[in-house]
Amino acid sequence: MQFGPGLQPLLPYRDDLCVLEGLFNAQSVANPSAHLGRMPNLLSGAWVSLDQNDLRVGRTMDQVLAQRIGKHTALPSLVLGIEPTELRLEDGLSMLYGSCISWSSPTRPTTKEIYPSRAFDAIVGNRRQAGLDRTILDQVLADAKSLRPQLAVRDRVKLDEYLESIRDIERRIDRAANEERLEGWRPTLTKADMPRPPNEIPQNVPDHMRLILDLIVLAFRMDRTRIA
């Protein structure tokens, strides 16, 4: 396989890579929305719903893998970004489609982290923050469960999806204390080899992107996740 300009930095590692070729996303080509009909299904190849009242696209491959092998690491997957999720409409469709390429279910995008400092804490482990997160989650769950009897059936479905995302965060917090590994697999780093980033979001976009990529490398080297 010939490596194009974009893959040239990976040339020394070509024997360790598996590059998929010949993929064609027919659903995105058929979708009339040039932007939102082709963004959220990059990793699923599924049809993007055009119904404003039915946010729906396929579950993405990264989350399918996270369910299968994510139990072996503290973080089932690492979903990072540099832009916040937008809630406005574009072409009559929710910008959630344009803000999220990772979907935990056909109707629920995976929560992404755009703050490098928070991503660092999730990777390296911050027990004090984990305790605070657990307290907040307990309160959120209690409030949500008390609200459920007051909702219509359709809204209960949405709430159940929301609660499942909360339970997923709970599992991540609990799993962070464990070190389950596949047989023979060992991290190349036991401690972070980079300082904790500042709490603020970098204002320079290239710097922000580079920092996010450095964090992904750190997570892989520490074997905190295998999917990002």
- The confidence band for 131, taking pLDDT boundaries of 50, 70 and 90, is low
Give whole-number Cα distances, 68 to 36, 63, 76, 163, 174, in Å: 28, 9, 9, 21, 18
Position 129 pLDDT exceeds 60: no
Least confident window among 41-50, 121-130, 149-158, 175-184: 175-184
Question: Residues with Cβ < 8 Å from 7, sequence gap 6 or more?
Answer: 19
pLDDT at position 16, please?
85
What is the average pLDDT value for the chain, to the nearest integer? 83
Write the secondary structure of the chain as one string of H (helix), E (strand) and C (coil): CCCCHHHHHHHHHHHHCCCCCCCCCHHHHHCCCCCCCCCCCCCCCCCCCCCCCCCCCCCCHHHHHHHHHHHHCCCCCCCECCCCCCCCEECCEECHHHHCCCEEECCEECCCECCHHHHHHHHHCCHHHHHHHHHHHHHHHHHHHHHHHHCCHHHHHHHHHHHHHHHHHHHHHHHCCCCCCCCCCCCCCCCCCCCCCCCCCCCCHHHHHHHHHHHHHHHHHCCCCCCC
Residue corresponding to tokens 């390429």:
101
- Residue 175 is predicted with a pLDDT of 59
The mean pLDDT value for 8-13 works out to 89
Q: What is the pLDDT of residues 167-184, one digit of tens each?
A: 666 666 565 555 555 445
* Assessment of whether the complete model's pTM goes beyond 0.85: no
Give tens-digit pLDDT for 30-73.
888 888 888 899 999 999 998 888 889 999 999 999 999 888 88
